[in-house]
Amino acid sequence: MKMMRATAAAMFAAGLAALPGGAQAADPLSIRVGDVPVTGAIPDGYCLPTGADKAGADLLAKGDPDNQTLAMLIRCDQQNKPGGTKYDYYLIKSPHAQPPAMKRAEFIAMMTEELKLPAYQTGEATRPEIGKAGDNLSTALGTKVDLSGEIRPRGADTVCIYMGGAFEVRSAVSSYPIAAGGCGTIVAGRILFIYAYDDPAKPNSGAVLLQRTRWIAERLKATDGRAN
């Protein structure tokens, strides 16, 4: 389980809107989790990146060598604009190293117990992983990126275990804070993490980000009927 906790911290850092409503139209999302096709929904107002944004997303994924980036979702109204997407986007990831297939309830119960450790409750355990993620991004992007901050457990329900926090991103180009919220879950027996990022100055940004990740997690289903 140490691997899973470290992976969660690294994926939050490597990633560097209103809550989607149930009545809103949503475009379909198709990803592949290992050998299993999975369908889901893209929140209203978000799109898969294209053009220069796609190239940037590919570089971002390269900066996270321990995990497969299954999808990045960005604001449609910010596509291919100068400066790229600094805030307000999603990442869906899955660790390359997976434990034996498990049920969602089993994963949530196990992670809930593991994350009660004091080092995770205070955020102390995740800080080195965040620094390491900055080093990986620096290598992928070819320019120095410093990341600092921490993530902490934010509870669990029947769909997700939640983690959240805030980071400071510093590079030669710009420096800014960013808030992150994430859901860890199981789809077709495999671990997935859904992350949402946004401006930490927005009201209740932490709680909203967690709700946004659950919205996506609830809609991810294996097309072959494998249970979560």
Encoded amino acid at 29, one letter: L
Q: Where are the alpha helices (DSSP H) in 118-158?
A: 118-121, 127-141
What Cα–Cα distance (Å) separates residue 14 from each residue in 145, 189, 193?
Answer: 11, 24, 12
Check: CB of residue 26 under 8 Å from CB of residue 20.
Answer: yes
**Where exactly are the structural domains of the chain?**
2-222
Give SS3 for 48: coil
Measured distance CA(75)–CA(3) in Å, rounded: 32
If one counts every other C-beta atom within 10 angstroms of the C-beta of residue 186, the result is: 23
Which two three-digit tokens encode residue 181? 């919220």
Check: CB of residue 153 under 8 Å from CB of residue 161.
Answer: yes
Q: What is the pTM of this model?
A: 0.84
Measured distance CA(170)–CA(146) in Å, rounded: 5
In tens digits, the chain (228 residues) has pLDDT values of: 444 444 444 444 444 433 333 334 568 999 998 889 999 999 999 999 999 899 888 988 888 888 999 999 999 988 888 766 667 899 999 999 999 999 999 999 999 999 999 888 888 877 878 878 888 888 887 888 888 888 899 999 999 999 999 888 888 888 888 899 999 999 999 999 999 999 888 877 788 999 999 999 999 999 987 778
**What backbone torsions phi and psi does residue 41 show, to the nearest 5 degrees?**
-140, 140
Measured distance CA(1)–CA(114) in Å, rounded: 7
Measured distance CA(151)–CA(127) in Å, rounded: 8
